[in-house]
Structure 1
Amino acid sequence: MQLIQSLGEALAWFEREISWGVPATELRHLCGRIGELYVAMITNGQMAIDVNQRGYDVVGLNNDRISVKTTAQSGLEGFISFNPRTLEFVDRVFVLRVNTEEMQVETLLDKPVAEARLLMVEDATGRLSIPLRRLAPNRAAPREHADVATVATIGDLTVRELESGTIEVLRNGEAIIPVKPVLRELAARFNIGLLNGRGNPLNTRQLGTLVIKSALQVNAD
């Protein structure tokens, strides 16, 4: 529960900074913290005890040492860097993206370090990296084992909110990416406004929560 609360607070602060006009790519420390909290939560693990723990950031439920890399970059250009001198201390690698439009965390990679190593390229200095372009296909995969907080069925659509706050929309079991256009259509069906009390557009998490709530009320009648 503390991890969930801390993750929600970190995402709220991240969203606040974005609303102030701070570029997401300048919020590296906060972005990294969000990723570490997210992975600790979904793996039922804990944050690494030591500050700047060498090589890994989270210890999973099975004592897996997990390296977490988090980006807020929206495109497919760029890369995720790794220190080759510390990979020997890592069992598992997560690469995450904080989607600033939908304000949710996307899993781009979750692999044992040996498999992640096959995706890495080495530059002239010996530094290892994974090009983001190699990770793009993983974005559309639904998290089958994620903890679901609430769920509603609307025709052939399933809208579910994960404990992390992430909103997923599936059609006949297949994840729909991006989810916000579908949520807007569902919001219109339930007469849900798209703006909050301050006149700002609802983000994906807020809109998804309202859609689920409205659908559950309709289904209960």
Structure 2
Amino acid sequence: MALTQMQIIQSLGEAMTWFERELQWGVKPTELPHLCGRIGELYTAMITNGQMATAVNQQGYDVVSAQGERISVKTTSKMNHASYVSFNPRTLSHVDRVIVLRVNTEEMQIEILLDDAVDVAMRMMGPEVKGKRLLPLRPLLKNSKPQREQETVNIVSYHGYTIRELESGTILIDCEGQSKSPVKPILRNLALSLNLSLVNSNGNPLNTRQLGSQVIQSVKTIIERVPLAPQPVTLSSTFPI
């Protein structure tokens, strides 16, 4: 059964939360390839208004966009320039579009490294070796693309910062129109100024998404408690004097 966009977004949030929990338990991100891959597929389905491939081990592609494009999705958590992603050259004929993503484990954000037609992506790949064609990440990391436009589900302003929570759970911070990165140190300082804990009930440090959500909710609570300024009374012509 096809997932709705809301279900895709919720599933993405749950997958990211589980990924973060695994990292807190000391698991290396490179040891979570299946979870990392599922995060990429859900993210791609979300930004393309598409659907996950219906068949298990679907040949060549993982997501079908709203326009019917068959998309091969590759997701990595590797941060070094010597890394690469691999493709099966025998199934690329079933693909229309290639999207390469990276899960930034420092910011817990998903970055788009490549989003292009399959023929463009193939020109960037090396020759076939042992049944695989490799796409190096070095040129992609230099030209990583900004986040696709997502709906903002929460936004507050505090101490000169504008903090936004996107539908995928990603936290963005702007200051005087300039995007700030990394956001976690800023969130930690804001949390301390709001007397918020930096650890959860188990004593583990809060991740970026958890910190951002707590800061946003705390600022919202403060705003709701601020009394409204009294409105001036205007006497009408019929008001008795």
Measured against the shorter chain, the TM-score band is: 0.7 to 0.9
Aligned amino acid, residue 120 of structure 1:
M
Aligned amino acid, residue 52 of structure 2:
M
Structure 2, gaps ≥5 residues long: 1-5, 227-241
Structure 1, gaps ≥5 residues long: none
Runs of 4+ in 1 over 4 A off after TM superposition: 123-126
1:193 corresponds, among 186, 191, 197, to: 197
Report what 1:184 is aligned to: 188
Q: How does 1:87-102 map to 2 (within 5 A)?
A: 87-102=92-107
Report what 2:40 is aligned to: 35
CA contact (8 A) 1:45 1:58 kept: yes
Tell me the TM-score normalised to structure 1 length.
Answer: 0.87
2:49 corresponds, among 44, 57, 79, to: 44
User: How far apart are residue 216 of structure 1 and its match?
Assistant: 3.3
Q: Tell me the alpha carbon deviations over residues 103-125 of structure 1, each in whole angstroms, 9 at most, x when there is no partner.
A: 33222222222333343333555
Report what 2:156 is aligned to: 152
CA contact (8 A) 2:42 2:52 kept: yes
Report what 2:90 is aligned to: 85
Aligned amino acid, residue 26 of structure 1:
E
Q: Tell me the alpha carbon deviations over residues 62-121 of structure 1, each in whole angstroms, 9 at most, x when there is no partner.
A: 111111101122333211112222222222211112233333322222222233334333
User: How far apart are residue 172 of structure 1 and its match?
Assistant: 4.2
Report what 2:212 is aligned to: 208
CA contact (8 A) 1:140 1:175 kept: no
Tell me the TM-score normalised to structure 2 length.
Answer: 0.80
User: How far apart are residue 173 of structure 1 and its match?
Assistant: 4.1
Could you tell me how far apart the structure 1 residues matched to 2:172 and 2:121 are? 26
Report what 1:171 is aligned to: 175
Aligned amino acid, residue 196 of structure 2:
I
- Structure 1 residues 139, 193: CA separation in 2 closer, same or farther (over 3 Å shift)? farther
- Structure 1 residues 173, 126: CA separation in 2 closer, same or farther (over 3 Å shift)? farther
Q: Tell me the alpha carbon deviations over residues 116-159 of structure 1, each in whole angstroms, 9 at most, x when there is no partner.
A: 3343333555732222221223447243x212211223365332
Q: How many pairs were matched up?
A: 220
What's the Cα RMSD here?
2.3
Could you tell me how far apart the structure 1 residues matched to 2:47 and 2:161 are? 24
CA contact (8 A) 2:89 2:128 kept: no
Could you tell me how far apart the structure 2 residues matched to 1:41 and 1:128 are? 27
CA contact (8 A) 2:111 2:146 kept: no
- Structure 1 residues 57, 151: CA separation in 2 closer, same or farther (over 3 Å shift)? same
- Point out the more displaced range, 146-155 or 55-64: 146-155
- Structure 1 residues 49, 201: CA separation in 2 closer, same or farther (over 3 Å shift)? same
